């Protein structure tokens, strides 16, 4: 193995590099070496590059591998013909050919030397001729390392390995030039802070703050994709804090910095911004099967209605009446603008609306009717609502915190008890639509819907009814509504 700084002149590997590369190659599948030999036989270079090298050095194994080469896309297709189990060319306009081999997805991209005009949202794709030129155009030095597949030559022209060891994020050139080329890289810096726990170099942070408005050049779809990766990262608080501190959040998620409400000496209250980040941390601590995107977004956004509902009360208090109602509207508005799928948008909005419902019962003296309604309103979101409500308890008073947790424990016990007796997961009227139409002598239409809703409310209040009782009460209701003559 050998190493160079990109000039082509081999140097000596440090002990750190030597150990890292031995481990790196020990983890690569046989398909990588086979592919490298095919390219070498055809007179072309092939290097593992970017995130693939970075993640292997971090011990993050992966099935998707990225390569770079001097071969043009059409030539790449020729070289893998008869060897690849499948190929796809959806990225060929950007110089990328996809290959499937032995269960691994291999993406092979021709050296790039893209040019940006500083105004458009996407670069003009231009092929390069050298590995150094390709690495120089990449976003961060930790993503600008490459390893030749055949001779295992390690190229690290911008000190990426040292930065990887120090968990520092810096750009190959000046951050201003890098972010001017592609402003999305500012969001990627926050995303890597959230995913990998890296700390951006001071000059990177300064450039992000100075150039934050440039993010508006980027399409909503690309912005949202980065935000999702950030939210689902291992350390989302770090990424979100970076977005807020640099001003980027003001352009992509403005509701977040608005949570930093001014606190004066006469009206004390918990900082809503810090509280929301703590709720996010506590929601994540309850996850059992990987990142829960819906829960994390709800935890982060559940209080975004507070700035618009803040009222200063006599005596130094602060109130946020109906902030859950306002918050639901704001969640829908922001997530629609970010083009999140409708289903997740509605789920996050509904969790925002429901997160205070538990506190509305005060003493914890839940009636059977209240328990039924809580479960019915939450529907399939109930497991997430449980986690959100528990995460929302951020008081530093240990007695108050213990009391709230005990109260919610009792609610969950009540839910479990009633679920066994009444199948709370599916609260439906005791009469179906056909029975309603037969009893009232009506056909399909709005009357059946009104009757169905009446019966559901009745069941929520009283619990399951036998058929005779349900029919008698429905007839009384129908007469009161003028749907039947008095009898």
Q: Which of 389, 409, 426 corresponds to the end of one domain?
A: 426
pLDDT at 364: 56
In a domain? residue 195: yes
pLDDT given for residue 439 in this prediction: 73
The count of domains in the chain is 4
Check whether residue 272 and residue 335 sit in a common domain. yes
Mean pLDDT by 10 residues, the chain (487 residues): 48 59 70 92 95 85 87 95 92 90 92 67 74 93 92 89 92 94 95 96 98 95 96 97 97 94 48 92 95 97 90 74 91 97 97 87 69 85 94 85 84 80 57 76 81 74 73 76 73
What was the pLDDT predicted at 81?
94
CATH code for the domain of 243: 1.10.110.30
pLDDT tens track for 44-94: 999 999 998 898 888 776 778 999 999 999 999 999 999 999 999 888 888
Inside any domain, residue 485: no
Residue 240 has a CB neighbour count (10 Å cut-off) of 25
Same-domain status, 180 and 233: yes
The answer on 148 and 63 residing in a single domain is: yes
Question: Same domain for 76 and 134?
Answer: yes
Same domain? 73 vs 217: no
pLDDT at 441: 79
Q: What's the pLDDT score for residue 11?
A: 43
Domain C-terminal end among 131, 166, 201: 166
Whether residue 367 is contained in a domain is answered as yes
Same domain, 177 and 306: no
Whether residue 412 is found in the same domain as residue 341: yes
| Among candidate residues 127, 150, 166, the one where a domain is terminated | 166
Structure tokens at 302: 């559940």
Domain for residue 42, yes or no? yes
Q: Is residue 487 part of a domain?
A: no
Q: Are both 161 and 208 inside the same structural domain?
A: no
pLDDT at position 237 is 97
Q: What is the pLDDT of residue 293?
A: 97
Task: Indicate if 414 and 439 belong to the same structural domain.
Answer: no
For residue 452, what pLDDT is reported? 76
Q: What is the pTM of this model?
A: 0.81
* Same domain, yes or no: 387 and 292: yes
| pLDDT at res. 119 | 62
179 lies in some domain: yes
Q: Which domain holds residue 219?
A: 169-253
Q: Looking at the structure, do residues 45 and 158 belong to the same domain, yes or no? A: yes
223 and 273 in a common domain: no
């Amino acid at each position: 193995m050998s190493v160079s700084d990109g000039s082509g002149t081999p140097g000596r590997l440090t002990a750190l590099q030597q150990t890292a590369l031995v481990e790196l190659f020990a983890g690569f599948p046989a398909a990588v070496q086979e592919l490298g030999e095919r390219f070498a036989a055809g007179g072309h270079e092939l290097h593992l590059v970017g995130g693939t090298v970075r993640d292997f050095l971090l011990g993050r194994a992966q099935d998707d591998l990225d390569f770079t080469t001097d071969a043009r896309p059409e030539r790449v297709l020729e070289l893998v013909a008869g060897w690849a189990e499948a190929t796809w060319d959806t990225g060929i306009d950007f110089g990328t050919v996809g290959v499937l081999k032995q269960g691994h997805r291999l993406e092979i991209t021709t050296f790039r030397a893209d040019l940006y005009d500083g105004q458009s949202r996407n670069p003009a794709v231009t092929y390069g001729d050298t590995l150094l030129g390709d690495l120089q155009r990449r976003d961060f030095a930790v993503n600008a390392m490459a390893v030749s597949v055949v001779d295992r030559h390690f190229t690290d022209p911008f000190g990426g390995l040292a930065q990887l060891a120090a968990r520092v994020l810096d750009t190959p050139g000046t951050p201003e030039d890098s972010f001017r080329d592609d402003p999305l890289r500012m969001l990627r810096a926050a995303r890597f802070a959230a995913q990998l726990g890296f700390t951006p170099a001071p000059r990177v942070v300064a450039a992000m703050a100075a150039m934050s408005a440039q993010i508006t050049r980027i399409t909503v779809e690309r912005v949202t994709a980065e935000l999702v990766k950030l939210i689902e990262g291992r350390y989302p608080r770090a990424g979100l804090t970076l977005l807020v501190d640099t001003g980027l959040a003001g352009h992509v998620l403005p509701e977040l910095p608005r949570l930093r409400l001014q606190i004066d000496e006469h009206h004390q209250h918990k900082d809503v911004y810090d509280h929301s980040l703590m709720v996010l941390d506590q929601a994540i601590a309850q996850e059992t099967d990987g990142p829960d995107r819906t829960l994390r977004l709800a935890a982060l956004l559940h209080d975004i209605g507070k700035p618009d509902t803040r009222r200063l009360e006599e005596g130094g208090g602060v109130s946020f009446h109906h902030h859950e109602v306002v918050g639901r509207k704001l969640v829908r508005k922001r997530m629609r603008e970010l083009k999140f799928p409708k289903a997740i948008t509605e789920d996050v909005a509904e969790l925002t609306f429901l997160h205070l419902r538990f506190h509305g019962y005060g003493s914890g003296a839940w009636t059977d009717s209240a328990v039924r309604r809580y479960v019915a309103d939450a529907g399939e979101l109930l497991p997430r609502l449980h986690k959100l409500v528990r995460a929302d308890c951020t008081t530093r008073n240990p007695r108050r915190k213990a009391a709230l947790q005990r109260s919610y424990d009792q609610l969950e016990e009540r839910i479990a008890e009633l679920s066994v007796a009444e199948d709370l997961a599916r609260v439906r009227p005791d009469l179906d639509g056909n029975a309603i139409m037969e009893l009232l002598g009506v056909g399909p239409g709005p009357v059946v819907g009104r009757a169905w809703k009446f019966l559901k409310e009745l069941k929520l209040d009283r619990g399951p009814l036998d058929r005779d009782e349900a029919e008698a009460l429905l007839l009384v209701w129908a007469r009161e509504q003028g749907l039947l003559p008095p009898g």
